[in-house]
Amino acid sequence: PLVVFGSINIDMVARLHHFPAPGETLHAQGTDLGLGGKGANQAVAVARLGAEVLLMGRTGDDMFADYAATSLRRRGVGPDGLFRSPGDTTGLAMICTDSAGENTIVVAGGANLAMDGDDVARLVPLLTPGAIVLMQCEIPMDTILAAARRVDAAGATLILDPAPVPDAGLPDELFRLATLMTPNETETERLTGLRPHDPDSARQAAGRLHQKGLRRAIIKLGARGVLYSDESGHGFIPPFHVTAIDSVAAGDCFNGGLAVALSQGLDLARATRFAAACGALATTRKGAADAAPTREEVEGLLSA
Ligand code: ADP
């Protein structure tokens, strides 16, 4: 199976002309309420491509939990892996955007931060050698590490999105446990000390990740393309040309697409290209989970 083990948030967006100063009260031009959290976004991206997915994550036991479950179900992600965490609040992201396109974001992790060994125990029975597990870094690192150990022991595939990179960095062991990591430019810099900006510098940064024990690296350079690298070599996928209006969740749609492509047996080069098309299409639409493309759209772009 394809399993996402990660975060679920409700995104509350207020559109403003300018950000409030301390002590100031402003009227918003408009608001949006939506589904977010990297785990939820990646699960929705998989479902949008027509593949089955199980999202294992926690919501609180508040009214946002119902909203999250309903939003997920409407987008093809069922409730079986969801757990209502007693006494916790559902993860919230409070986002303000201004007329210059800047944003400020406050995340309250809530129930996501309560994910623990009990969730890992729920994951274990699903871990067969053919299983693909998607993780991100919006849940406690101890839990990520414990889950990664079980995925590795089962011979399953772990696609780890090191986003966001924790202040303390990633534990060394994770580089050996993950089958594949998918850092963007800033995450790559945090992990390797090198900021990639072109195929050469990305290849160099990938080399540093391999030195840490990582088998497969995919370095996402936004509008500049993607580098993939493993023991059999490396390659570069130039960017797809699209009209980008909102890059939110492009990386999540990329990872969802990558998992679907790998689950269908595509090699690293072809899976990366498929994923890059998913990421590119996601930038043509507003929103987080709702930006994910369908398989028809991806195939259209791949054959254009
Ligand atoms: P993240 O969202 O994690 O920061 P990126 O910004 O690198 O990651 O976006 C993820 C992927 O989406 C990129 O690797 C690329 O394939 C695609 N992508 C993002 N922005 C663009 C763009 N402006 N044009 C084409 N493809 C894009």
pLDDT, averaged across the chain: 96
> Which residue minimizes the CA distance to atom 8 of ligand 1?
251
61 is catalytic: no
CA-nearest of 96, 129, 98 to 11 is 96
CA 273 to ligand 1 center in whole angstroms? 12
CA 158 → CA 6, 22, 90, 112, 133, distances in Å?
Answer: 13, 43, 26, 19, 5
Atom number in ligand 1 closest to CA 186? 4
**Helices H / strands E in the chain, number of each:** 10, 13
The string of pLDDT tens digits covering residues 225-267 is 999 999 889 999 999 999 999 888 999 999 999 999 999 999 9
The string of pLDDT tens digits covering residues 181-231 is 999 999 999 999 999 999 999 999 999 999 999 999 999 999 999 999 998
d(CA 270, CA 18): 43
The string of pLDDT tens digits covering residues 129-143 is 999 999 999 999 999
**Which domains, and CATH codes, for the chain?**
2-7+38-89+116-303 (3.40.1190.20)
The string of pLDDT tens digits covering residues 23-43 is 999 999 999 999 999 999 999
